[in-house]
Amino acid sequence: MMKSSSTILAATGAKMTSTDANLTSKDTILLIEDDDSVRDSLSLYLQQSGYDVIEAEDGEMGLALLTTKHPSVVVTDLSMPFLDGFSVLEALKEHNSDTPIVVISAHSESTNILKALRLGAYDFFPKPIKDVERLEWTIQRAIESSHIKVQNQNYREQIEASNEQLQRSLETLERDNTAARRIQQAMLPSTPMKLKSLQGEYFWRPQLYVSGDFLGAFDLSSRYCVAYIADVTGHGVSAGFVTVFLKHLSSSLVSEFRNDSARHLRAPGDVMKEINRRLIDAELDKHATMIFCVYDNRTQKLHYSVAGHLPLPALKRASGHAEYLEGVGPPVGMNDVGEWPSYSVDILPGDSLVLASDGILELIDEENLLVKESKWLAQIQRSDRLSDIALDFGIDTISSIPDDVTVFWLKFGNLDEQRTNPVSAD
């Protein structure tokens, strides 16, 4: 009993793929032709041209060989016993084979040609074949086209695999960055905050997941409280790790100095010098700008030191006037030598200290740094609270920012005044 073309392909258990057409280094041609003389002459010519030729007498035998030998191209007659050339084309189309097929036939009516091409034939040659060199050229073009399809498929698969790997890596990186951001946020002080002699609030927005900006404030004793802001070079996780290091370092150094002598608490430059030394010893290959402040509520003096930080600390008086405080000194972690002077300024109840990272200056649409600084000071002077700044700059609404942005607003006064006139957390 004659088998159908689909049955012949399915019975082999072989899966026709585009890769199968390129398994051997020497191209193989499957020649399906029931006319012995035509088959023999074509086979001899193609073998002399350097191809391996597999011969089949009819379509049924050809399909069986097709799934086991994986030829580079098929040359088939249309009119054959058992299974004709159309059945071979239909079987390959049904099984999504990429193997190119060149059709030869003595019946070269346009209907046969169109039907063969619709079924996926690469080209059609009428018999008798008068230009066998043209047939060889067509076969070679078909093989090259098949190889290009295989290469393109391989490239697509490689790209898809790379994209999948990249997506997995990005998802892992996103999870890691999210975890790092949560850790960094957990180390920030609460906002708003109330200390013994001042209260404060801040906004902190990283450009990416993790910020190079950091801040801190804490009571050191009933007399002293400490506040600082730092801006580590760079962005992302590496800068974020340095901020964690700075938080630990600042807190431990202040505790060490407190136990040693109150003199150090009135000389924040000594703290800055030690931070610089330990950053260099840690070989983190990072440096930071910083403002370090110690407030003495007994003398109502603010002692501070500046390490290359812009903008400078701004003092807004209770009267409403705002001014920049002086301060010079190199960034910490850059050189193993340097001087960080300590400064002092008298504070009155109701005065505010505003510390910011340079990301706030990037939000001011001016090219000149001096103009940016002037506009920032004017913004502080017309703002009564941190929420005014956040609103005017659109911190909570803009979709992206060019740099990490942090603003720290500290208001001085005794505890009773803080309870009576709290700073809004809006």
User: Averaged over 289-300, what is the pLDDT?
Assistant: 92
Q: Where in the chain is the domain with CATH 3.60.40.10?
A: 188-420
pLDDT digits (tens, 9 = 90+) for 372-425: 999 999 999 999 889 899 888 888 778 788 888 999 999 998 544 444 444 333
**How many other CB atoms sit within 10 Å of the CB of residue 157?**
11
Residue 297: alpha-carbon gap to chain centroid = 48
Q: Reply yes or no on whether the pLDDT at 24 is more than 70.
A: no
The two tokens of residue 92 are: 């390959």
pLDDT band, very low/low/confident/very high, at 330 (cuts 50, 70, 90)? very high
Query: What does the alpha-carbon distance between residue 232 and residue 214 come to, in Å, rounded to a whole number?
Result: 8
What's phi and psi for 375, nearest 5 deg? Answer: -70, -35
Beta-bridge partner residues of 303: 294, 344
Q: What is the pLDDT at residue 185?
A: 75
What single string gives the DSSP state of each residue in 31-83?
Answer: EE-S-HHHHHHHHHHHHHTT-EEEEESSHHHHHHHHHHH--SEEEEESS-SSS
Mean pLDDT, rounded, for 68-76? 88
Q: What is the pLDDT of residue 254?
A: 67
Is pLDDT above 90 for 176?
no
Q: What is the DSSP pairing of strand 101-105 with strand 123-126? A: parallel
Residue 288 · residue 246 · CB < 8 Å? yes
Task: Examine the pLDDT at 292 and tell me if it is beyond 80.
Answer: yes
CA distance 7 to 136: 31
The Cα 29–Cα 102 span in angstroms is: 10
DSSP string, 254-269: HHHHHHH-HHHHT-HH
Q: What is the pLDDT of residue 250?
A: 72
Counting Cα atoms < 13 Å in the Cβ hemisphere of 73 gives 27
Report the pLDDT value the prediction gives residue 361, as an integer from 0 to 100.
93
What pLDDT sits at residue 25? Answer: 53
* % of the chain residues with pLDDT over 90: 31
Stated as kind and residue range, the H or E segment containing 243 is helix 236-260
| pLDDT at residue 288 tops 80 | yes
At 248 the pLDDT is: 74
**pLDDT at residue 227, rounded to an integer:** 92
Number of helices (H), then strands (E), in the chain: 13, 16
Q: Which CATH superfamily is domain 188-420 in?
A: PPM-type phosphatase domain (3.60.40.10)
For residue 94, what pLDDT is reported? Answer: 78
Contacts 24+ apart (CB under 8 A), 151-156: 153/18, 153/19, 154/19
Average pLDDT value for residue range 53-60: 89
Residue 353 backbone dihedrals phi, psi, to 5 degrees = -115, 130
Helix (H) or strand (E) holding 314: strand 314-316
Amino acid at 373: E
Residue 140's CB is within 10 A of a number of other CB atoms, namely 16
Element (H, E) at 101: strand 101-105
CATH code reported for the domain at 5-156:
3.40.50.2300
Enumerate the CATH 3.40.50.2300 domain ranges in the chain, comma separated.
Answer: 5-156
CA gap 355, 85 in Å, rounded:
84
CA-closest candidate to residue 39, choices 27, 49, 54: 54
pLDDT digits (tens, 9 = 90+) for 179-206: 767 777 777 888 899 998 899 999 988 8
Pairwise pLDDT comparison (279 vs 264), residue with the higher score: 279
- Residue 155 structure tokens: 């490239």
Cis? peptide before 311, omega within 30° of 0: yes
Q: How far apart are CA 315 and CA 60, in angstroms?
A: 94
Average pLDDT value for residue range 288-310 = 93
| Mean residue pLDDT across the chain | 82
Which pLDDT belongs to residue 419? 40
Q: Measured between alpha carbons, how far is 424 from 235 in angstroms, rounded to an integer?
A: 31
- The pLDDT of 71-93, averaged and rounded, is 85
pLDDT category at 19 given cuts 50, 70, 90 is very low
Q: Please name which of 121, 111, 41 lies closest in space to residue 87, comparing C-alpha atoms.
A: 121
**pLDDT confidence bin for 234, thresholds 50/70/90:** low
Entry pTM: 0.60
Band the pLDDT of 259: cuts 50, 70, 90.
low
